[in-house]
Structure 1
Amino acid sequence: MLKTLDVTAYKCIEAESFDLAPLTLITGTNSSGKSTVLQAILVGMSYLKQEKLSYLRDLVKPYVQLDDVLCRTADADQVGIGLTSEGDCKFQTFITESLQGVIGDRDDLYEYEETLFYLSANRSGPEELAELSKELKIGAQGQYALGYLEQRKDKPISPELCRSEAPAQTLKAQLAWWLGYITGTQCEAVTSKVTSTRIKLSFVMGDLGEVSPLNTGAGNSYLLKLLIMCLAARPGHLLLIENPEIHLHPGAQSRLGEFFAFLASRGVQLVVETHCEHLINRVRYEVYHKRLKADGALVYYKQSSEERFLQLGFLPTGHFCNSDGEQVNFPTGFFDSTLGELLEMG
């Protein structure tokens, strides 16, 4: 599990250190630098030796060109990204004009699409036919997730991640339980192989029967790929996720927060960029009910690209606290963004 991230002169971050919890939530205004945190982790990982390094290098290619990513307000001529894992294993990545490299205690900490997974905000939506990859499990756009489901649907997932309410420990059964629970509907994904590299998807929607993904809510398809990635994980794996709440209604967004808290409480580490107050509030509720330890989650909030990230923790009561453990309120302009209008209306 990653413990800290140190970033120097990268994009809009001059020099900041981040403690990383089992569940770390990154939020703030648009274009303030939230995705930069996830990109920094990916860039750091892209200099570790691993089997699928070429795929990760291709993924981070836009994020390692010095002219594009060097912080314009920092007095620096290189980017530095440092990561520390449990056991104080450390490695540092540098991006300079002449070279890009890594110095560290070990080079096998995480492997892309094996123990490290990333799902970008720009991911694929509803589709009847999807590609099956023999190299990657999920893909940064989730483009291979349905192929992974077809290959592994009758295999058990990690026992630590199994819900007893589901009829079996298989990926298909656990996926159907979470999909139905989060959406609040009867919904099951059904896949079949069309060719050796093409997969067909449909949803079984209760009494409606089989429905094409193109003829049901887009939220089901976006959520499905996210759930496949998460349930493919095991304790000790690291998941980087952008905007998981895409196309979900508020109740589903809240239950997604419960899902993330569930994963974090069972040893999967998540770094999640989100704009969703319903998701964050549900994580608070899970802490309040002791289903996630208070020190199992952190929130980082960034008001603008010029300001630093504000770190907030959780008290056992579910309230926010500062680094000294003192109860504090969330910064204005997020949870209270419409409070003035509501008070005016009475």
Structure 2
Amino acid sequence: MITQLSLKNFKCFKSSDIKIAPLTVLAGINSVGKSTVIESMLLLRESKMKSESRDIPLFNLRLNNQYMHLGTGMDVLCDFSDNDEIGIQLYDTYNTEMVFDGAWLVGRDNPSSVLEPIDIHQRKEEMGIFEKSALFAKNNHQYIDFSFISADRLGPRSRFEVPDESVEINHNIGNKGEYAAFYFDYMHSKKIPIAEIAESEEADDIGSQVNKWMGHISPGYKIHTHVERDMDAVQLSYVKKNGAKDRRSSNVGFGLTYTFPIVIALLTVRRGGLVLLENPEAHLHPKAQSMIGDLIARVVQNGVQVILETHSDHIINGIRVAIKEKRLVSDKLLINFFSEPQENVSDPVVTEIHANNEGKLNEWPQDFMSEWEDNLFKLI
């Protein structure tokens, strides 16, 4: 599992070390570096996967890829940098700690979106991190090893895409959830990889478990998919209990379709896998947000690493309740709260917040989960 990320001269970070836990919540106000943490990991993954020299640690950094479009090196070079080097250091633990320490040169005179690596001393352990870290997994096992679900997900529509690669080659839901319907259709009869998170009153196949958790969002609905092979498309519809017919996803609320890929990712990732999530609370009512927090907690307790960016008190409180009710060990949770840099300091302030066994938090920095209480006092 990833244990630390260090960033140098990358976007808003001049030099910062960010701790990562099995369940890491990135919270805080807008535009203070939360997304940058996830972007840096995705940047390493995509750049290494696309590298022609897969047998050496050095590789080009590709700023524009399937996950993001960051522009040129000058667009991502920190405004307060003392040189033209971007650095990303990754710590991962697989029996023993592995470290990757990479640096890339930004060309001021010839701006490019592909940054050349700087020939620096490389540790022997860096070879192992590419082979063993879930961040660089190829997703060619029976279930998901790595999944990233973006905040920019696909909403309801008549048809969804069929991926170019088969599921046997790449267990892929899509960054925007574009392949979620196809993946569900293919995997629905298989057993979920982590039996401990199964809702006991339901069968332990993926279809039953996904529908059970989706039922917490909108009770009475079940998912129906139909693959149209001649059109390389999948129809996604919802069946209402005792309803006369299927309802197209475009005729059902956004929350179901927006949450669908997140629930599938969490229920089909295998032990040792990694899931990155952005704003899983989008289009969900508060109770459903808490439910997502609870599901995340159960998955993490059973060996999966989840790193999520959220603005939702309900997601966080759902995780805290799971701790109190013994579905998650408190030591597995770390909330990194990002706030504005202090005077004469360029980097955002990152406050590490931990929970005890009752789900109570040890730190309450300014603006952290305080809006409800602040407004209540104004109304009294």
TM over 0.5: yes
Tell me the residue number matched to 2:145: 115
Stretch moving more, 185-194 or 297-306? 297-306
Tell me the residue number matched to 2:111: none
The alignment partner of 2:30 has SS state of coil
Is residue 62 from structure 1 mapped to residue 69 from structure 2 by the alignment?
Answer: yes
Q: 2:183 aligns with which of 134, 139, 148?
A: 148
Tell me the residue number matched to 2:78: 71
Tell me the residue number matched to 1:81: 88
Letter in 2 for 1:144: Y
The Cα offsets for residues 198-236 of structure 1, whole Å up to 9 and x where unpaired, read as 111111122335211111110000111111122221011
Q: Which runs of 5+ in 2 are unaligned?
A: 55-60, 108-114, 342-346
Is residue 185 from structure 1 mapped to residue 211 from structure 2 by the alignment?
Answer: no
Tell me the residue number matched to 2:116: 100
- 2:26 and 2:330 map into 1 onto residues whose CA distance is 17
Identical counterparts, % of pairs = 28
Question: Compared with structure 1, are the counterparts of its residues 159 and 335 closer, same or farther at alpha carbon in structure 2 (3 Å cutoff)?
Answer: closer
Tell me the residue number matched to 2:355: 314
Q: Aligned-pair distance for 1:94?
A: 2.2
Question: Compared with structure 1, are the counterparts of its residues 279 and 61 closer, same or farther at alpha carbon in structure 2 (3 Å cutoff)?
Answer: closer
The Cα offsets for residues 35-67 of structure 1, whole Å up to 9 and x where unpaired, read as 001011111223435799999972256247321
- 2:104 and 2:195 map into 1 onto residues whose CA distance is 39
The Cα offsets for residues 176-215 of structure 1, whole Å up to 9 and x where unpaired, read as 111113x151221110112252111111122335211111
The Cα offsets for residues 70-115 of structure 1, whole Å up to 9 and x where unpaired, read as 1112323211111111121111232312643495233223225552
Question: Compared with structure 1, are the counterparts of its residues 51 and 265 closer, same or farther at alpha carbon in structure 2 (3 Å cutoff)?
Answer: farther
The alignment partner of 2:66 has SS state of helix
- 1:342 and 1:21 map into 2 onto residues whose CA distance is 33
- 1:55 and 1:2 map into 2 onto residues whose CA distance is 21
Tell me the residue number matched to 1:335: 369
The Cα offsets for residues 157-187 of structure 1, whole Å up to 9 and x where unpaired, read as 2033541425322211110111113x15122
Asked if 2 retains the 8 angstrom alpha-carbon contact of 1:90 and 1:105, the reply is no
Question: Compared with structure 1, are the counterparts of its residues 116 and 258 closer, same or farther at alpha carbon in structure 2 (3 Å cutoff)?
Answer: same
- 1:237 and 1:90 map into 2 onto residues whose CA distance is 18
Is residue 34 from structure 1 mapped to residue 20 from structure 2 by the alignment?
Answer: no
Runs of at least 4 residues of structure 1 off by over 4 A?
A: 49-57
Tell me the residue number matched to 2:57: none
Q: Aligned-pair distance for 1:257?
A: 0.5
Q: 1:236 aligns with which of 259, 272, 291?
A: 272
- 1:275 and 1:33 map into 2 onto residues whose CA distance is 13
- 1:344 and 1:167 map into 2 onto residues whose CA distance is 46
Question: Compared with structure 1, are the counterparts of its residues 193 and 294 closer, same or farther at alpha carbon in structure 2 (3 Å cutoff)?
Answer: same
Asked if 2 retains the 8 angstrom alpha-carbon contact of 1:13 and 1:308, the reply is no
Asked if 2 retains the 8 angstrom alpha-carbon contact of 1:39 and 1:63, the reply is no
Tell me the residue number matched to 1:173: 208
- 2:290 and 2:20 map into 1 onto residues whose CA distance is 22
TM-score by length of 1: 0.90
Tell me the residue number matched to 1:283: 319
The alignment partner of 1:236 has SS state of strand
- 1:208 and 1:177 map into 2 onto residues whose CA distance is 18
Letter in 2 for 1:70: L
Asked if 2 retains the 8 angstrom alpha-carbon contact of 1:302 and 1:309, the reply is yes
Q: Aligned-pair distance for 1:241?
A: 0.6
The alignment partner of 1:58 has SS state of coil
The alignment partner of 2:354 has SS state of strand
The alignment partner of 1:314 has SS state of coil
Stretch moving more, 262-271 or 161-170? 161-170
Asked if 1 retains the 8 angstrom alpha-carbon contact of 2:218 and 2:256, the reply is no
Tell me the residue number matched to 1:325: none
The Cα offsets for residues 222-276 of structure 1, whole Å up to 9 and x where unpaired, read as 1111111222210111111100000000010111100100110011110000000
- 2:63 and 2:270 map into 1 onto residues whose CA distance is 20
Asked if 2 retains the 8 angstrom alpha-carbon contact of 1:203 and 1:213, the reply is yes
Q: 1:292 aligns with which of 325, 328, 331?
A: 328
Question: Compared with structure 1, are the counterparts of its residues 97 and 17 closer, same or farther at alpha carbon in structure 2 (3 Å cutoff)?
Answer: same
Q: Aligned-pair distance for 1:334?
A: 3.3
Letter in 2 for 1:154: S
Question: Compared with structure 1, are the counterparts of its residues 225 and 51 closer, same or farther at alpha carbon in structure 2 (3 Å cutoff)?
Answer: farther
Q: Which runs of 5+ in 1 are unaligned?
A: 322-327
Q: 1:159 aligns with which of 194, 210, 214?
A: 194
Letter in 2 for 1:58: N
